[in-house]
């Protein structure tokens, strides 16, 4: 799809206008209420779409995406959208919604998935505006780059475990770095042994697929700040010896949602040439079952030099993150450290599918992320990181244990475990995205990757 700019209403091309409930023209027919996603054909070549009452920017994007997704096989080759009088952010979110509406989830279906001509290379989306083309060009490019990255990340999350072992994530990063101008290095199993990534290697013991530590380094000229992003890269999670129930185990292909977000943020920053250095660190492995698998009760080491008593092998994400966080802090001395992980079912019990759990002792960072979440629709909500919970990870035979074995405060206790491996970094944030990385059930009933974290960060 190409995007063009028009200053006059086109003839013979479908024109789409968006309306809020409180901004309907006096001539509006009584049956059109401008509810979210409501459609009304005002004439053969004019379509009105309702946005609801005082919609947020993210709500506009989601509403537009759903409308275009539901009719993705019916749009003509060209259509126009009236964006006159709208803010820059409104325009960017509207364009993003339309582009995301054409996302195809059937990655491994035989034969072509038929979409309407609009979503083919010859399709054209015209923007009817009062501004010159030069004014809208940066907004269009931002939307195109953002959606391109989101779509690539959704593809990664939606791919089954056999199509994306750690070596595939590493190859993805290497190719992206070469294409968009940032450095990528991959530590293989031998290097991980040599450098002491004992926790990551312990989780990998039950898998035939070798682990990898993927390090992406986007360093523009004259940057002032270095941000390290650490993403949980479990490409499939059986739970190990502490095996998961079979009913929804297939959804565990999404357990690398944190890694996918990190890959996406680094690539998008490079595409948009953002003036901040980003270090993306992804400790990646499968968590499988084998005679060599780590067992409940085992004591393992870590990159930080601390010993860990493994109470539950299904609490493996925090083990690989422990090594990733230690490596980030000690090798790069970043100004800010943020980790993202589909870490606990507990956070879903607490927040449902509306927000990620936010853990940090840094009030300023918390406020910035909460605001960013409200603006982008990728919401976060703060949960305590008090030392009251530290006793839950005390081990009698090792420095720390990875699980407290209680049906309470699971997300908080997991965060306290991770905190041990941050060297008390003053600007560390943990985001538990278990309820957010894999959803979109209103578009895909079987659930799908959301690319949560890309817009937020």
Q: Which of 65, 66, 253, 318 is catalytic?
A: 318
Contact in structure between 156 and 164 (CB atoms under 8 Å)? yes
The first and second tokens of residue 308, run together, are: 């860990």
The first and second tokens of residue 238, run together, are: 């059986």
Non-local CB neighbours of 293 within 8 Å, separated by 6+ positions: 205, 206, 240, 241, 313
The first and second tokens of residue 147, run together, are: 């959606």
Contact in structure between 411 and 357 (CB atoms under 8 Å)? yes
Non-local CB neighbours of 123 within 8 Å, separated by 6+ positions: 1, 2, 77, 78, 116, 117
The first and second tokens of residue 370, run together, are: 């909460």
* Catalytic annotation present for 318: yes
Angle at 107 between CA 106 and CA 108, to 5 degrees: 95
DSSP code, position 454: T
- The C-alpha atoms of residue 56 and residue 214 are separated, in whole angstroms, by 36
Non-local CB neighbours of 74 within 8 Å, separated by 6+ positions: 116
The first and second tokens of residue 325, run together, are: 């966080």
Q: Which of 189, 244, 306, 447 is catalytic?
A: 244
Q: What is the DSSP string of 87-147?
A: -HHHHHHHHHHHHHTT----TT-SSPPP--GGGSTT-EEEEE-SS-HHHHHHHHHHHHHHH
- The C-alpha atoms of residue 18 and residue 35 are separated, in whole angstroms, by 11
Q: How many CB atoms lie within 10 A of CB 364?
A: 9
Contact in structure between 332 and 340 (CB atoms under 8 Å)? no
Give the closest residue to 299 by CA, choosing from 189, 202, 421. 202
Q: How far apart are the first and last CA of the chain?
A: 27
Give the closest residue to 228 by CA, choosing from 330, 113, 363, 86. 330
**Rounded to 5, what percent of the chain is helix, strand, coil?**
35, 20, 45
Give the closest residue to 81 by CA, choosing from 66, 72, 68, 100. 68
Q: Which residue numbers are catalytic?
A: 244, 318
């Amino acid at each position: 799809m190409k995007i063009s700019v028009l200053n006059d209403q086109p003839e013979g091309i479908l024109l789409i206008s968006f309306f809020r409930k409180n901004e309907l023209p006096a001539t509006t027919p009584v049956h059109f209420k401008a509810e979210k996603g409501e459609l009304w054909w005002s004439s053969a070549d004019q379509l009105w779409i309702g946005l609801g009452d005082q919609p947020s920017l993210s709500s506009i994007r989601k509403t537009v995406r759903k409308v275009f997704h539901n009719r993705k096989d019916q749009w003509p080759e060209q259509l126009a959208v009236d964006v006159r009088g709208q803010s820059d952010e409104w325009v960017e979110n509207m364009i993003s919604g339309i582009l995301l509406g054409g996302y195809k989830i059937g990655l491994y279906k035989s034969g072509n998935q038929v979409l309407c001509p609009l979503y083919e290379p010859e399709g054209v989306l015209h923007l009817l505006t009062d501004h010159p083309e030069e004014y809208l060009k940066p907004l269009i490019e931002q939307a195109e780059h953002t959606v391109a990255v989101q779509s690539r990340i959704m593809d990664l999350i939606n791919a089954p475990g056999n199509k994306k072992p750690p070596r595939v994530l590493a190859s993805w990063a290497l190719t992206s770095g070469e294409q968009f101008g940032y450095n990528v290095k991959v530590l293989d199993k031998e290097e991980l042994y040599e450098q002491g990534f004992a926790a990551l290697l312990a989780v990998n013991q039950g898998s035939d697929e070798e682990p990898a530590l993927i390090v992406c380094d986007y360093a523009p000229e004259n940057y002032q700040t270095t941000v390290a992003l650490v993403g949980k890269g479990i490409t499939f999670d059986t739970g190990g010896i502490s095996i998961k129930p079979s009913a929804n185990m297939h959804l565990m292909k999404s357990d690398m949602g944190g890694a996918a977000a990190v890959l996406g943020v680094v690539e998008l920053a490079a595409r948009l040439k953002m003036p901040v250095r980003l270090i993306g660190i992804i400790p990646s492995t499968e968590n499988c079952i084998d005679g060599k698998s780590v067992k409940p009760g085992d004591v393992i080491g870590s990159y930080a030099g601390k010993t860990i008593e493994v109470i539950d092998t299904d609490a493996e994400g925090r083990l690989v993150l422990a090594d990733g966080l230690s490596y980030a802090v000690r090798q790069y001395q970043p100004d800010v450290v943020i980790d993202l992980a589909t870490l606990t079912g507990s956070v879903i019990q607490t927040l449902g599918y509306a927000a990620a759990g936010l853990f940090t002792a840094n009030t300023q960072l918390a406020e910035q992320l909460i605001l960013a979440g409200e603006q982008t629709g990728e919401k976060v909500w703060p949960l305590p990181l008090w030392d009251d919970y530290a006793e839950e990870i005390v081990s009698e035979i090792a420095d720390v244990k990875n699980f407290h074995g209680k049906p309470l405060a699971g997300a908080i206790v997991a965060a306290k475990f991770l905190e041990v491996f941050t060297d008390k970094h003053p600007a560390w944030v943990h985001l538990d995205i278990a309820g957010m990385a894999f959803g979109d059930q209103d578009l895909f009933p079987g659930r799908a990757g959301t690319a949560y974290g890309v817009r937020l960060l």
